[in-house]
Amino acid sequence: MKRTAQEAGISSEGAAASETSPQKRVNMPKKNNHRMHAHINPFTPLKMPTPQNTRFADWSLHYPSYYGSTDNNKDRIVVNTKHYKIAYETEASQQDGPTPTVLDIGCGYGGLMFELTKIFKDELILGLEIRDKVANFAGEKINSLRINSGYKDCLNTAVLRTNAMKSLHNYFKKDSLEKMFFCFADPHFKKSNHRKRIVNTALLTDYCYMLRPGGKVYVVTDVEDLHNWQVSKLEEHPMFERVPEEEDQADPCVKAMREGTDEAQKVIRREGNIWHAVFKKRDVTDQAQMSAIEAEYMEKFFD
């Protein structure tokens, strides 16, 4: 049975910490050296390695301290980009170690990840980013923060370059995720491009498969039309229900995604509007109830 980080007796502050001198320091990466277009067409063919299935995803490369490494994998950066490559040629040697439970999809330069690592000390956080140079920046920053803190910070944080619309099932098993964040996604304004939106009916079913019962989907944007679209798709899906307002307001993740991301800070500076919503996966154990939900879903979308 797969262990969580907490069950393994590991925390982000003490996870097999390196004995390397904390005086070792490296320069932080600069965004100016990693600039790219704000968005990439998710349907554009991109040549990047992808694991055949979840058994080929080696999480020890991304979270070495949680897998017994005392040297941060020799400070090797692994992001799945042209510069920081991954080869998914064989099954991972350790199949029962902790895996990511918190996903930031379209993580950009990693602003939300660095806020979430303060909230979740014993969960593995993973940012997914499709843009090569941007993923490199986030990976370099994570590695720099690990080294400069004496291998105490960001041990539970990693970034991976992939196309989340196509390859999530290659990385994550059923009921394995606790939280999924979609922050300031590409609005794809043209109606003909709505199928490219990262929150849509078909993809929500995929997300539902990977989320644990009670697992949450967080969406935030400064585009009201996109917000209404995302909320409507989540409300229409029979396996998601909106989190009550009082629970929403007490959730520290809401503040983090509304204020901690790079895009959120841009909106705040220009005094723009921000809309968010939080939904959770229904915990359905009764087979009759599940059959009724499936029938409702089929009638709504396929009649």
Q: What is the pLDDT of residue 220?
A: 98
Binding-site positions for S-adenosyl-L-methionine read: 106, 129-130, 163-164, 183, 261-263
Counted domains in the chain: 1
Q: What is the pLDDT of residue 47?
A: 82
The full DSSP string for 121-181 is SSS-EEEEE--HHHHHHHHHHHHHHHHHTTS-SSTTEEEEE--HHHHGGGT--TT-EEEEE
Provide the percentage of residues in the chain whose pLDDT is more than 70.
Answer: 83
Contact between 40 and 188 under an 8 Å Cβ cutoff? The reply is no
Give yes or no for residue 110 having a pLDDT over 50: yes
Buried residues in 63-77 as b, exposed as e (16+ CB within 10 A): bbbbbebeebbebeb
Q: What is the pLDDT of residue 45?
A: 74
Domain encompassing residue 167:
99-302
Residue from 58, 186, 225, 251 carrying the catalytic annotation: 186
Distance CA 17, CA 24 (A): 14
Give yes or no for residue 226 having a pLDDT over 50: yes
Residue pointed to by tokens 């490494």: 69
Residues 6+ apart with CB under 8 A from 246: none
Asked, for residue 5, whether it belongs to a domain, the answer is no
Give yes or no for residue 18 having a pLDDT over 80: no
Q: What is the CATH number of the domain that holds 150?
A: 3.40.50.150
Asked, for residue 55, whether it belongs to a domain, the answer is no
Tell me how far apart the terminal alpha carbons of the chain are, to the nearest angstrom: 41
Q: What 3-state DSSP class applies to 282?
A: coil
Asked, for residue 264, whether it belongs to a domain, the answer is yes
Predicted confidence (pLDDT) per residue in 170-207, tens digit: 999 999 999 999 999 999 989 888 999 999 998 999 99
Phi, psi values for residue 105, rounded to 5°: -90, 120
Catalytic residue status for 122: no
Distance CA 105, CA 164 (A): 7
Asked, for residue 285, whether it belongs to a domain, the answer is yes
- The stretch 209-223 carries a mean pLDDT of 97
From the centroid of its chain, how far is CA 250? 21
Distance CA 136, CA 107 (A): 12
Give yes or no for residue 157 having a pLDDT over 60: yes
Residue pointed to by tokens 């503040």: 255
Give yes or no for residue 23 having a pLDDT over 60: no
Predicted confidence (pLDDT) per residue in 56-87, tens digit: 999 999 999 999 998 898 999 999 999 999 99
Give yes or no for residue 244 having a pLDDT over 70: yes
Q: What is the pLDDT of residue 255?
A: 96
- The stretch 109-131 carries a mean pLDDT of 96
Q: What is the mean pLDDT of the chain?
A: 87
Asked, for residue 143, whether it belongs to a domain, the answer is yes
Asked, for residue 42, whether it belongs to a domain, the answer is no
Contact between 17 and 151 under an 8 Å Cβ cutoff? The reply is yes
Strand order in the sheet with 125-129: 157-161, 125-129, 102-105, 177-183, 211-221, 275-281, 240-242
Binding-site positions read: 106, 129-130, 163-164, 183, 261-263
Asked, for residue 247, whether it belongs to a domain, the answer is yes
Q: What is the pLDDT of residue 251?
A: 97
